[in-house]
Structure 1
Amino acid sequence: MTTKFVLLLAISGLLISNYSYSQVKPISKLEKITLGDFKPKSPVVDSNANAVVLADIGSTEFEGNNNGDFTLVFKCVKRTLLVNKNAFDEATVKVPIYVGNTATEEEKFEDFEATTYNVENGAIVETKLDKNAVFKEKYNRTRTIRKFTFPNIKEGSIVEYKYTIKSPFSFFRGHIRSWYFQGKYPVLWSQYHVLIPHIFTYYPVQQGFLKYTIDSLKGIFKNYNIIDPGGANESSTIISVSGMAIYKVWAIKDAPAFKRENYTSSLENYFSKIDFQLHSIKLSENSPTQQILKSWVETIGKVLEDGDYKSVLEDKNSWLDEDLKRVTKEGTDFEKAKKIFAFVRDNFNCTDHDASIWLSDPLKKVYFSKKGTVTDINLVLTAMLNHAGFDVHPVMLSTRENGRVTESTALLNQYNYVIARLKIDSTYYLLDASYSKLGFGKLPEECYNTSARVIDKFPLLLSMNTDDLTEEKLTTVFIVNEDNGETNGSIASNLGYYESMHLRENLNTKKTSEFFKEFAKIYPSEITVQNLVLDSLPDVDEPLKMSYDIKLNFNDEDIIYFNPLLSEAIKQNPFSSAERLYPVEMPYKDNNVFSLNMEIPKGYKVDELPKSTRVKLNDNEGMFEYIISNDGNRIQLRSKIVLEKANFTPEDYETLRNFYGFIVKKHAEQIVFKKIK
């Protein structure tokens, strides 16, 4: 038999034994904890580290079982120093365990140990967790959680756990667990190895910016015995699979903590990690190759045959008739579709916006309970629209927080969100009824994560780029001198759609009067805010309009320093880091216009006025203008910020950072009024 393993660059049939980056050897077993472990020295550990992962070691190997199949055996051991109480969340661990319909399909959680180490009177004291203190909690119909909390933790404790998970190969489709070399705390040593029988071809997919300390590959002769139990009248047989298995090791020393920065879609996209995709199986030289990675047409075809989607797309849901008749008794097709959407949105409560593409409960149960995951709710919406005769299909996507998917590969477990795609005449609408303040044909920002896939016999790939969205805002300010000597102003803002949505959500949990008090605090004490009005608040399909009055009290000062941008000034650069290794991913393009028309306060003259300016970002990717004039009695200002794209490469980061730095500096400039004597 030939050994076959496919590397990221499509190199196959390779048998080598070397260390690509150094001659450092893998760790086979953790050494006993010493006093030095409580004060680790590493270039990636600083005073800001709340915890330090001293070692994180995992492996996946295969073994034959008694059910005529392989078992995937995943082992891990993790040792962490809890520097202070801010890291105590690390002392509670949750391990997902998948369950099937029978005992042979369930994962096994074995060989568990958890120990806390403390230094007392100069000696290391161990406190072991009782194995009975591991709790089993139901998460959903396919997953349970093993949960445990370390005992006797203190600031400065070291906690260590290890466990084994055994997974039936066929039930889990040969899924080798991903491995993360990096996390929110610095990791002094992270190591992962796989030992793969020669009959399997896997694609490892590597991600991240850190170099491997160890990246080695070699062949090891292995023999696997699989017992086929046979049928009712058949005796069991032993199947022997022998050949050169592939032993692959990766390790990274001193991985820095991955710090989240502004405008990052998901840390999942940039952690240094490795994933595995089972490509094919070839049992022998003479047997045909079994392709595991199917086409999108084949994969979605199987989804449509599943009971979940049959219940949604078949036209037999007569229990929907009564509500549909009441909701859609009159109106055009567009008006009826809007009414169905509003009915689901306003009557169903979303319990989880991070789900899967499957129903958590049967469709009818979800419908009458009036609650469920985002997928549950949007499949109810799809079922109602379908039953009403509309051309509608479910669409699956991965949210920004969940990470990007591999578009070319049909891997359903990468998707965590389902919406509906409705066609009326020649127009398509993407619908999400899981947010109470989201309008018809609108999606939350989190859904725009490169692409989505239609669940149909022809599974079309939809573009879902944030570069396709623009958030527009217009603020107009008029400030005049009253006959009674007061200086008053009126401000009107046409908010962008997403700012409007989030404001509506905010007002859903508090009174308008409470919001007004908080909003008034934005202004300095010499400016009083009055008469706040929010227009179109109930109409979630449209952006909000906000207007209010201000009263300016200059206290008869000899010199007045006045920022003409008022509350709309950008006061802080969102890009504080000096450098950035991964892209900037904004939720949308921006078009923000601020206009001021102001009478100069009576008895004053302009002593200093900011200069007008106009700058471009990388020629045509953005623009900032600050145009101000003074005709003797009146000041006019127009400030405009335009971003023509939402995503910027790391190479563009410095330019973008300088662009916003310039805006912050310019928005901080003030008009100086001097009293006329």
Structure 2
Amino acid sequence: MKNFTLLTCLFCNFLLFSQTNFNSDSYNVSLNDIETNVFAADTTANALVIYEEGNSYVDKNEYDLRTELKHKIKILKREGFEKANVAIYLYNNDKRKEQIKNIFAATYNLEAGKIKITKLDAKNIFTEKYNENYTVVKFTLPNIKEGSVITYSYTKTSPFMFNYYGWKFQDDIPKLYSDYRASIPANWDYNIKLVGYKPLDINTSEVEKNCLEGARGASAGCSLMHYAMKDIPAFKEENYMTSKSNYLARIDYELKTFQGFDGVINHYTKTWETVDDELRKEPNIGRQLGKSLKLEDFLDASIISETNALKKAESIYWFVQDNYTWNEEFNIFKDVSIKDIINNKSGNVSAINILLHNLLLEAGIDVKPVLLSTRNSGFATKIFPVISDFNYLIVQATINGKPYLLDATDKYLSFGDLPFRCLNGYGRILDFKKGSEWIDIAANNLSTKLCKVELNLSDSGNITGKVTDQSTGYHALNSKKQYFPNKESYVDQLQNNFPHIEITNHIVDNEDKKSPNFVETYDVTYEDNLIADKIYLNPFLFKFFNENPFKLQERTYPIDFGYKDVYFYSMKLNFGETFSIIEAPKDYVISLPNNSGQLLFTSTIQNNSVIVSLKFNFKETIYGPEFYPYLKEFMNKIVDIQTNSLILLQKKQ
């Protein structure tokens, strides 16, 4: 029944989206477009794209790329007025530039029962220099009000065929219909990439013969492609996601080859074999990886003579970690110098990890560099090499047949762990002899957060007890980064989080900042808990989640936690002979679909004690968008249990 209810809600949302009074079939503005001022499918939307279309083709005479664009947008709220500000960016170089022509824009309002059209005056169109390679054309639609419908159209011409016009179906406001047509002559061969998780409603292709003519009777056919999406929800960013560029529904083009009518072929997209050879010779990567080092200049004799390969690799890793500092820069193909980092004790990502690579290699460890793109940077393209997609370099050391991914930029990482920013699915391992290949990049171990609380209730109603908080993996890494830089501040913050509880005797069991575990214990004291002759106690001193991180009506992209984890909380209250239990929390069990996560909440009364425990886990690193309503309900229950659970005790007469 619960699953049926969720599916019913999703179906109702679909009906709300698709059944509107707006004219989403054409660019023409209808009376309904102006009169309808509510978008039931997303009442939070401040504006709505009713209709948009684009048409890209190569001009038969000028051989440049033309793109004709039309947009029809409904302004629903004052916050949507910004959609009336249009900025069009035009690329240029020393010889050629993109241009805009045929700009037409108008605002439609309903005044005194009649449609009033206010057209954009050409004198209000401005062109500004944006930077060295871009100018921007700006205009603002006139007479904007809540309820206005705006339309604007223009033609963009570009001599840069390597940069075929891509189409963005999804944006930060919802769209009812988005249509794009592309005509590509056979002379130009593009890699075409559809990004996002929403399927196309129209995806067709046909061939037009002799669409482009050259000298001496030469001609080429064109691929005519038609793409469209309907009822596209606004893209809204939320917790547990990587870069939004990974998910925005769109079509991208990358020029692979161009063949002129004279038969000459120019290659633009390279193969990985070519890229590997270029990287091998590249001064900031390949040449630095080839720098030989004398271990005696860096390491103690005990490390050099170590016969256990794993222990030797760990010692070298810790040496680099402790003695060289990351300067927070990601420019991995610029200013990389082994000589400079040795002298300055600081450098960018490539410098630090190439130094680690070279020391491991000199010590006889099988090690290779790995290029990757961080979570905030987006996924690296897999179907063809795009070196600019990569912004990070780590190393893989293989010891006794087991691979370890290493990054020495973070002084709190354990051997074999990576910073959270690196958990972005995959990377490209470089082997200049055998060729590069893709490898998976994921957290090796489960991250855990365990909290055990034991409390004693005195006859006078005071509560004292002990807390043991243990974490591993990325939960431990977060705690270490808070604790080690300023231990006193850490304890002060802990106390500030619980103003009604006194915290004393705080102890961290392991003062090794590289340990994969972080364990802390401390004593707690509650006072004056009696209200009349009763004690009301929320068993959760600490909450793993204070609020539900999932708040959207619908999420069209995956929920990416980055790693698998488990949470466990246990509280035992010894209440002695003076009090009796009047009320205890009820047990609860819930599972995510496919057994991909489980929540178990129990309370047990044993003699003069009550034991409450909560355990929940996420067995997957990434959940598809279809899991979103289930995860939302799952989190709601976690927050509700932690916030509203109650133990009620009464003093015996």
TM-score of the pair, normalised by structure 1: 0.72
2:211 alignment counterpart: 222
The offset of 1:91, in angstroms, is 5.9
Q: Given the alignment, which residue of 335, 342, 363 partners 2:321?
A: 342
2:90–2:98: 8 Å Cα contact kept in structure 1?
no
- 1:445-524 maps to which residues of 2 (within 5 A)? 445-457=420-432, 458-465=435-442, 469-481=445-457, 486-506=462-482, 515-516=490-491, 518-523=493-498
Q: Alignment partner of 2:453: what SS?
A: strand
Paired with 1:508 and 1:399, the residues of 2 have a C-alpha distance of 26
Paired with 2:206 and 2:287, the residues of 1 have a C-alpha distance of 48
2:126–2:138: 8 Å Cα contact kept in structure 1?
no
Amino acid at match of 1:134: K
Change (3 A) 1:162 1:529: farther
CA distances 1:619-670 after superposition (whole Å, capped 9, x unpaired): 7533333343222322233332233333334555555455445544544332
Task: Please say if 1:325 is aligned against 2:301.
Answer: no
Q: Alignment partner of 2:328: what SS?
A: strand
Task: Please say if 1:198 is aligned against 2:186.
Answer: yes
1:3 alignment counterpart: none
Paired with 1:613 and 1:446, the residues of 2 have a C-alpha distance of 35
The offset of 1:447, in angstroms, is 2.4
Change (3 A) 1:512 1:48: farther
Task: Please say if 1:209 is aligned against 2:185.
Answer: no
Q: Given the alignment, which residue of 44, 60, 74 partners 1:48?
A: 44
Q: Given the alignment, which residue of 603, 608, 617 partners 1:642?
A: 617
CA distances 1:259-300 after superposition (whole Å, capped 9, x unpaired): 23443344334332123355666667x979998776644543
CA distances 1:214-250 after superposition (whole Å, capped 9, x unpaired): 856452633355xxxxxxxxxxxx7875222223343
Structure 1 unaligned residues grouped into runs of 5+: 1-23, 138-143, 226-237
Q: Alignment partner of 1:567: what SS?
A: coil
1:214–1:252: 8 Å Cα contact kept in structure 2?
no
- 1:282-301 maps to which residues of 2 (within 5 A)? 296-301=272-277
Change (3 A) 1:376 1:550: same
1:527 alignment counterpart: 501
Amino acid at match of 2:328: C
Q: Alignment partner of 1:625: what SS?
A: strand
- 1:513-662 maps to which residues of 2 (within 5 A)? 515-516=490-491, 518-523=493-498, 526-534=500-508, 536=510, 539-557=513-531, 558-568=533-543, 570=545, 572-576=547-551, 580-600=555-575, 603-612=578-587, 616-618=591-593, 620-662=595-637
Q: Given the alignment, which residue of 394, 417, 420 partners 1:442?
A: 417
The offset of 1:350, in angstroms, is 1.3
Q: Percent identity?
A: 22
Change (3 A) 1:258 1:485: closer
Paired with 1:89 and 1:381, the residues of 2 have a C-alpha distance of 50
Amino acid at match of 1:670: L
The offset of 1:164, in angstroms, is 4.9
1:593–1:639: 8 Å Cα contact kept in structure 2?
yes
The offset of 1:491, in angstroms, is 0.9
- 1:97-246 maps to which residues of 2 (within 5 A)? 103=94, 108-111=97-100, 128=124, 130-131=126-127, 133-136=128-131, 164=156, 166=158, 168=160, 174=162, 176-187=164-175, 190-207=178-195, 208-209=197-198, 211-212=200-201, 217=206, 219=208, 221-223=210-212, 241-246=218-223
Paired with 1:52 and 1:508, the residues of 2 have a C-alpha distance of 49
- 1:65-104 maps to which residues of 2 (within 5 A)? 84=78, 103=94
Paired with 1:514 and 1:124, the residues of 2 have a C-alpha distance of 61
Q: Given the alignment, which residue of 273, 276, 282 partners 2:250?
A: 273
Paired with 1:672 and 1:25, the residues of 2 have a C-alpha distance of 58
1:181–1:272: 8 Å Cα contact kept in structure 2?
yes
Task: Please say if 1:676 is aligned against 2:633.
Answer: no
Higher deviation after alignment, 631-640 or 108-117 = 108-117
Paired with 2:573 and 2:245, the residues of 1 have a C-alpha distance of 49
1:112–1:161: 8 Å Cα contact kept in structure 2?
no
Q: Alignment partner of 1:108: what SS?
A: coil
Change (3 A) 1:619 1:114: closer
Paired with 2:142 and 2:483, the residues of 1 have a C-alpha distance of 41
The offset of 1:411, in angstroms, is 4.4
Change (3 A) 1:588 1:675: same
2:207–2:221: 8 Å Cα contact kept in structure 1?
no
1:53–1:188: 8 Å Cα contact kept in structure 2?
yes
Higher deviation after alignment, 238-247 or 627-636 = 238-247
The offset of 1:606, in angstroms, is 0.6
1:15 alignment counterpart: none
Change (3 A) 1:267 1:246: same
The offset of 1:407, in angstroms, is 4.0
2:336–2:350: 8 Å Cα contact kept in structure 1?
no
Q: Alignment partner of 2:186: what SS?
A: coil
1:351 alignment counterpart: 329
The offset of 1:415, in angstroms, is 3.7
1:315–1:387: 8 Å Cα contact kept in structure 2?
no
Change (3 A) 1:381 1:521: same
Q: Alignment partner of 1:342: what SS?
A: helix
Paired with 1:591 and 1:610, the residues of 2 have a C-alpha distance of 22
Structure 2 unaligned residues grouped into runs of 5+: 1-22, 307-311
Paired with 2:507 and 2:140, the residues of 1 have a C-alpha distance of 54
Paired with 1:119 and 1:517, the residues of 2 have a C-alpha distance of 59
2:287 alignment counterpart: 311
Q: Alignment partner of 1:247: what SS?
A: strand
Question: When the two structures are aligned, how many residues end up with a matched partner?
Answer: 607
CA distances 1:460-511 after superposition (whole Å, capped 9, x unpaired): 3322246x541112211121246987321221211233223334445689x5
1:43–1:254: 8 Å Cα contact kept in structure 2?
no
CA distances 1:586-637 after superposition (whole Å, capped 9, x unpaired): 2222222222232116732111223445555457533333343222322233
TM-score of the pair, normalised by structure 2: 0.74
1:404–1:449: 8 Å Cα contact kept in structure 2?
yes
Point out which structure has higher relative CO (alpha carbons under 8 A, 6+ apart).
Answer: 1
Change (3 A) 1:555 1:672: closer
RMSD between superposed Cα atoms in Å: 4.9
1:20 alignment counterpart: none
1:591–1:640: 8 Å Cα contact kept in structure 2?
yes
2:12 alignment counterpart: none
Change (3 A) 1:338 1:112: farther
Paired with 1:592 and 1:391, the residues of 2 have a C-alpha distance of 37
2:280–2:287: 8 Å Cα contact kept in structure 1?
no
Amino acid at match of 1:196: I
CA distances 1:344-382 after superposition (whole Å, capped 9, x unpaired): 7x4231134xx6xx5133546974777776456544554
Amino acid at match of 2:124: K
Paired with 2:32 and 2:536, the residues of 1 have a C-alpha distance of 57
Q: Alignment partner of 2:598: what SS?
A: strand
Amino acid at match of 1:206: L
Change (3 A) 1:518 1:55: farther
- 1:379-418 maps to which residues of 2 (within 5 A)? 379=354, 381-382=356-357, 385=360, 391-405=366-380, 407=382, 409-418=384-393
2:9 alignment counterpart: none
The offset of 1:257, in angstroms, is 0.8
